[in-house]
Structure 1
Amino acid sequence: MSDSKECIRVALVGPQITCWGLQQLVQSSPRFSLVGSAPSLSTCMQGAWPAAADVVVVDFDDSEELPTLLDFLGVCAARLVLLTAMTEVAALDGAVLKGLQGIVRKSEPPGVLLKAIEKVHQGELWIDRGSTSRIFVEMLRQKAARNDDPELARIATLTQRERQAIAALASDTSAPGKVIASRLCISEHTLRNHLSSIYSKLEVSNRVDLYAFATRHHLDKPQLRAT
């Protein structure tokens, strides 16, 4: 992880007027140093690029730009954050799976972009909770397909709420269902329904088996940070 006090070198890619606004935002904090800008990813791919950047903020809303973004990911050593109003979640999820480290919606307050730059620089992903869940499942699906691992394939069928329940149960094996349900802000009845579904999907028969399965596959760990 990068030193939290290190000045983060930021480069911008986008229309001139957008880059001007982003420049004012980035330069408003001593945590960041602007090292350059470019009008488009195509320009960057032609070699007009400040190589010293730690994080690159790319601004576009057209999904047709995504292939160029993926090409740029392959040649750019910096971490990338996409600032966008795109709604094509499958395309954005695919970009994250191929190396995009952050997505910030244009509807978010300006401070969110600065926070995203900082967290991405520290090696974290910056994506919303819905994307985190979908991408996690897709990563498991792809890994299971590569390895032909039936247990990973079963994990990929879990919902986000079921994974949260597993993590809560595995982190405190002695806690009664009432306590676990309270921590998850659900009723005991809902927790029992989750457990029934989890046992069926993972092919385990009780909490002891579930704990063993969860620790073996790191399902007892917190999920990736999400916005």
Structure 2
Amino acid sequence: MPSIRILLVDAERLVAEGLRNLLETFREFSVVAVAHDQATALRQLHRHHPHLVVMGLGPAAGGAVDAARAIRQDSRHVRIIMLASSQQPIHMREAFVAGANAYLSRDIDAEELRDALLTVHHEGAALSATAAGQVLELVSGGLTGDSSPLALLTRRERQILFLVADDQETRHIAARLGITPKTVRNYLSRIYAKLGTRNRLQTALYALRSLDEDPEPAAKV
């Protein structure tokens, strides 16, 4: 019996149906529901409790990103995979800040998709080959000017900073990153010192300003 339950979310009905047919050829997966809008996705999330939510991210990314954010706020433990037409860093950033665990190209082949979904289910995150190079550049700080305080942050500190900006609580950040709440608090103290902020609110506002003002900032996740 399939052990990994999947909720598909895509505004394009033909795309969703094709993806459903594809995934059901793999014995590991069971597509428990298909949704074409945010409200339906949340209802199906409550009804079926899927392990994975696979979402289509077409050229008009805003609706899917909003839906991903709503799903993440509703369920902290479900893993969200974006299948995206765009491989632009700004769209990757928006997806991850909204709560995505993986960002894959819509051009991905069937076996690569299967492997990526299994990786996300077991290990928590995945990127397509196309996206990986750009995200590694973002994570390294290569797109952040040396004069920016963000350049002082380590990769883990950037992860925590932008999860804070996404209004996630300490215990949720700890669960998502596989560390203890005390470790999160220790990282936050170092982030405050590097950015010159005094608390979570100031730090979140700083991160959000960075998202708005820097067209290609350092990686968030």
For the superposition of Structure 1 and Structure 2, which TM-score range results when normalised by the shorter chain?
Answer: 0.5 to 0.7
| 1:48-197 to 2 correspondences below 5 Å | 48-49=44-45, 50-61=47-58, 62-65=60-63, 66-76=65-75, 77-127=77-127, 128-135=132-139, 137=141, 139=155, 140-141=157-158, 142=161, 146-149=191-194
Tell me which amino acid in the other structure corresponds to 2:57.
Answer: F
What are structure 1's unaligned runs of at least 5 residues?
Answer: 151-227
Q: Measure, in 1, the Cα distance between the counterparts of 2:103 and 2:194.
A: 31
8 Å contact 2:2–2:30 — kept in the other structure? Answer: no
1:198-223 Cα offsets, whole Å, 9 max, x none, are xxxxxxxxxxxxxxxxxxxxxxxxxx
What are structure 2's unaligned runs of at least 5 residues?
Answer: 142-149, 162-186, 196-221
Q: 1:109 to 1:86 in 2, by over 3 A?
A: same
Tell me which amino acid in the other structure corresponds to 2:114.
Answer: L
Query: How many matched pairs?
Result: 145
TM-score (norm 2): 0.56
Please tell me whether Structure 1 or Structure 2 has the larger radius of gyration of its CA atoms.
1
Q: 1:23 to 1:64 in 2, by over 3 A?
A: same
Q: 1:6 to 1:147 in 2, by over 3 A?
A: farther
Tell me which amino acid in the other structure corresponds to 1:148.
Answer: A
Query: Among the aligned pairs, what percent are the same residue?
Result: 16
Tell me which amino acid in the other structure corresponds to 1:113.
Answer: L
* Higher alpha-carbon deviation: 60-69 or 102-111: 60-69
| 1:190-209 to 2 correspondences below 5 Å | none
| 1:7-86 to 2 correspondences below 5 Å | 7-14=3-10, 15-45=12-42, 47-49=43-45, 50-61=47-58, 62-65=60-63, 66-76=65-75, 77-86=77-86
TM-score (norm 1): 0.55
Q: Measure, in 1, the Cα distance between the counterparts of 2:137 and 2:122.
A: 21
How far is 1:135 from its partner? 3.7
CA RMSD, Structure 1 to Structure 2 (Å): 2.7
How far is 1:149 from its partner? 4.1
* Higher alpha-carbon deviation: 94-103 or 112-121: 94-103
* Higher alpha-carbon deviation: 135-144 or 89-98: 135-144
How far is 1:39 from its partner? 1.2
How far is 1:6 from its partner? 7.4
How far is 1:133 from its partner? 3.8
